[in-house]
A = this chain, B = another copy of it.
Amino acid sequence: MIFTAKRFFSQAKKPRNPNHGSIQKSDIEYFQSILSESEINTSDLSKYNVDWMSKYQGESKLVLLPNSTQKISQILSYCNKNMLPVVPQSGNTGLVGGSVPHYDEIILSLQRLNKIIDYDTNNDIVTTESGVILENLNQYLSQFNTEAPYDLGAKGSCFVGGNIATHAGGKYLVKHGPLRGYVLGLEVVLANGQIMNLLNKSRKDNTGIDLKQIFIGSEGSLGIITKANLLCVKKAIEKNLLFIKTSSFQNILQIHNIAKSEIGKNLAAIEWMDSYAYKAVIENIKTAKEVFESQNKIDQSYYVLIEINTNFNKDLVVEQFYNSVSSVEGLVDECVLAQNDHQFDELWKIRELVGSACGHIGKVFKYDISLNTSQMDDITKDLRQKCFNLGLTVGYGHIGDGNLHINISCLDKTKEQQLENQIEPYIFEWLSKKGGSISAEHGLGLMKADYLHLQKKPEVIDCMKNIKKIFDPNLILNPYKILPGI
């Protein structure tokens, strides 16, 4: 087998860890002795070696697909002794190159760890293996009238374990708060094969240092999550959606503040997009139709989507909120209210298809950042100006939790590299100065590991590295990622 490392983007290859070994025939023989034939793949590895954006490409020669915690323990114990690096891989839906090898690391796929173990009906806690697809989990949960406390575009492919390992966010963070608050327990296998039983079904458990927190969001660098106890939420009975067109970003901030005060706990999501994002969808997605009647100059309009969930008369809440925002002169240019489930889905799609729409225009550079909501339009405009000769810049995202997505579509196929150089590290330095986050919900992975110093002080990074050394002293777990220089 010959594997060629194909790099689609510029990120320079990091030096290979000289202590790491490469797969030998004897290693394969060991894995054959503990795994069944279907749990070892050495022949058809292409889909495991590349991320879904085709941005990051590895050259692994071995994918292991164990179906039990015990087998993962045996695999890691062996790899740790023999200095064989391992990349844990869940649904491989990440955007930062966190789940594909950088060199020839063994890929440890969680896809056969896909059993839902049990459900506690009194307390709405599901216990599941980590390789369960989010959508499958939700299908299972529907019998109890509950669902997972987060929702992601990738729900048809992503795994619960990967969601926890990357501390996934999504559009319903406003409604539920962070995923971390719902992960009651974990089972994790450490680099040396030790199984850490941190499973727990108590919502409140203040007994010593809460170790499971360290694994949540550590992107597979400290251990491999094999099971989880997840607190589920009851499904909302009534949902409604407003789509508002307004003339300034300042208005969006004001609408957001009114929504928080007036809708309170029934505010499920609040998303914004600028006119460039809106136009990208309407012009590039065939099924998307213009929502509003009024025609403003494209560069003067802003859009905000507000989902309200209630368990009772939704019209009352919508009416009260609408009266409040429309009583402020100049705040609402036009407001559309979904009249049925179909319209509800169609309106959401306009927001959800921004990424795809940008892809129609050209190769997309995607940034997932947090910052003070008041600065969201400033940074978008700044980048638009900086990249105007090469790219189309759109701003959109979760205004309710301070998470901005900036997509920049390259307008000239031959100048992708030049465009990327114009954006990075400029955007990260901008955030470093203003106090935002270079990764809101996507994580660091390979893409941003080397920019961590822009956000965290040296002593904080040192401290992370000290913790890494406790859990993975041989640095075999997901190397080259998350932490710089590891």
B373 contacts A122, C-beta separation under 8 Å: yes
B204 contacts A403, C-beta separation under 8 Å: yes
Q: What separation, in Å, do the CA atoms of A456 and B212 have in the docked complex?
A: 12
Tell me which of B123, B311, B448, B461 contacts A402 (CB under 8 A).
B123
B309 contacts A320, C-beta separation under 8 Å: no
A266 within 8 A of B: yes
A209 contacts B217, C-beta separation under 8 Å: yes
A178 contacts B175, C-beta separation under 8 Å: no
Q: What separation, in Å, do the CA atoms of A433 and B63 have in the docked complex?
A: 39
B320 contacts A311, C-beta separation under 8 Å: yes
In the complex, which residues of chain B have a beta carbon less than 8 angstroms from the beta carbon of A370?
A: 202-205
A15 within 8 A of B: no
Q: What separation, in Å, do the CA atoms of A265 and B234 have in the docked complex?
A: 9
Q: What separation, in Å, do the CA atoms of A401 and B204 have in the docked complex?
A: 7
Q: Who on chain B is nearest to A373 by CB?
A: B122
B196 contacts A459, C-beta separation under 8 Å: yes
A402 contacts B265, C-beta separation under 8 Å: no
A121: min CB distance to chain B, Å: 8
A217 contacts B206, C-beta separation under 8 Å: yes
Q: What separation, in Å, do the CA atoms of A43 and B253 have in the docked complex?
A: 54
Tell me which of B175, B257, B316 contacts A265 (CB under 8 A).
B175
Total copies of this chain within the assembly: 2
A439 within 8 A of B: yes
In the complex, which residues of chain B have a beta carbon less than 8 angstroms from the beta carbon of A374?
A: 122
In the complex, which residues of chain B have a beta carbon less than 8 angstroms from the beta carbon of A177?
A: 176-177, 181-182
In the complex, which residues of chain B have a beta carbon less than 8 angstroms from the beta carbon of A218?
A: 208-210
Q: Which of A237-268 contact B (CB under 8 A)?
A: 237, 253, 256-257, 260-266
Q: What separation, in Å, do the CA atoms of A398 and B418 have in the docked complex?
A: 58
A484: min CB distance to chain B, Å: 9
Q: Who on chain B is nearest to A182 by CB?
A: B177
A388 within 8 A of B: no
Contact of A216 with B205 at beta-carbon distance under 8 Å, contacts A122-B372, A181-B181, A260-B234 already known: no
Tell me which of B173, B194, B264, B402 contacts A234 (CB under 8 A).
B264
A–B complex contacts, Cβ < 8 Å, 7 sampled: A122-B257, A145-B261, A176-B177, A200-B437, A210-B217, A466-B470, A470-B470
A207-B456, A237-B264, A263-B311 known, 14 other contacts, Cβ within 8 Å: A167-B206, A177-B181, A178-B181, A201-B402, A204-B437, A204-B440, A206-B217, A207-B437, A209-B222, A210-B213, A236-B264, A265-B266, A313-B313, A313-B316
